[in-house]
Amino acid sequence: MEAHSHLAKSALFDAIAEVAAALAAGRRAEIIDVLAQGERRVEQVAQELQQSVANTSHHLQALHRAGLVSRRRQGARVLYRLAGPEVEELWVALRDAAASMRGDFARLASAYLGELGAVEVVSRRELLQLQADGRVTIIDVRPPEEYLQGHVPGALSVPLSELDRLRPPEGRAVVAYCRGPYCAFAPAAVRQLRSRGLVARRLEGGFPEWRRAGLPVAVGDREGGSPPG
């Protein structure tokens, strides 16, 4: 009986460790961060990681075996998504633990974001107030396919490649957001807009943090089509 109990306990803890092992690669953590924005094709994930489709598919299969991602077929294509909200919570907890426990984490983040990480931040509560007062233009600078799967209500889809066409109403501030605290899109947008003399800040965290805070989310077409200009 004791031997059986020990074996059962070992199997249980091995299963838990297998989930952790599936995340024990930087590219797989990147994949979880990308899929936290919504469902993506293998080719799209590969492009985000700047890796081959074959290598990306290998990582996705490992995550699938561990139960961290699910997949479905759309014709000849395979699409992946996070298996559930618990996976995103696991990713956030792991990311935050690394930020608090690794003494070199701030240096690593700074090496990636550089001066981009120093832009002014607006809180979610303040953004809601600015929006209610009609004093802000909100821009989502993630890829359009991520915007379509969920975005801040009223936000314009303005990828960085289209940013130079943005012409917000005179006197209105701009708030940009992207994938999260370690995404470079929004800080880059803010610095570019400020170089044009516009008042611009980035939203604290990013869209996943907005959604997890229980705030309203819109889904569907790009608001107003192309950026105003």
Burial class (CB in 10 A: 0-12, 13-18, 19+), 147: buried
Give the residue extent of every domain in the chain.
2-99, 104-212
Of 23, 122, 176, 178, which residue is the catalytic one? 178
Give the tokens for residue 39: 């469902």
pLDDT, one tens digit per residue, over 54-103 is 999 999 999 999 999 999 998 888 899 999 999 999 999 999 999 999 99
Amino acid 62: pLDDT:
95
- Average pLDDT over every residue of 19-26: 92
Q: Is 183 a catalytic residue?
A: no
The confidence band for 114, taking pLDDT boundaries of 50, 70 and 90, is confident
* 3-class DSSP assignment, residue 57: helix
Average pLDDT on 117-121 reads 80
The CATH number of 104-212 is which of 3.40.250.10, 3.50.50.60, 2.60.120.260, 3.40.50.150?
3.40.250.10
Matching fold, domains 2-99 and 104-212: no
- Distance CA(26)–CA(42), nearest Å, equals 17
Least trusted range by pLDDT, from 65-79, 113-127, 173-187, 205-219: 113-127
- Residue for token digits 């989930």? 19
Predicted TM-score (pTM) of the model is: 0.85
What DSSP state is assigned to residue 178?
Answer: -
Topology classification of domain 2-99: Arc Repressor Mutant, subunit A (1.10.10)
d(Cα 203, Cα 161) in Å, to the nearest integer?
Answer: 20
Separation CA 81–CA 6 (nearest Å): 35
For 125, the token pair is: 């509560």
Dihedrals phi, psi of 223, to nearest 5 degrees: -55, 120
Q: How confident is the model at residue 45 (pLDDT cuts 50, 70, 90)?
A: very high
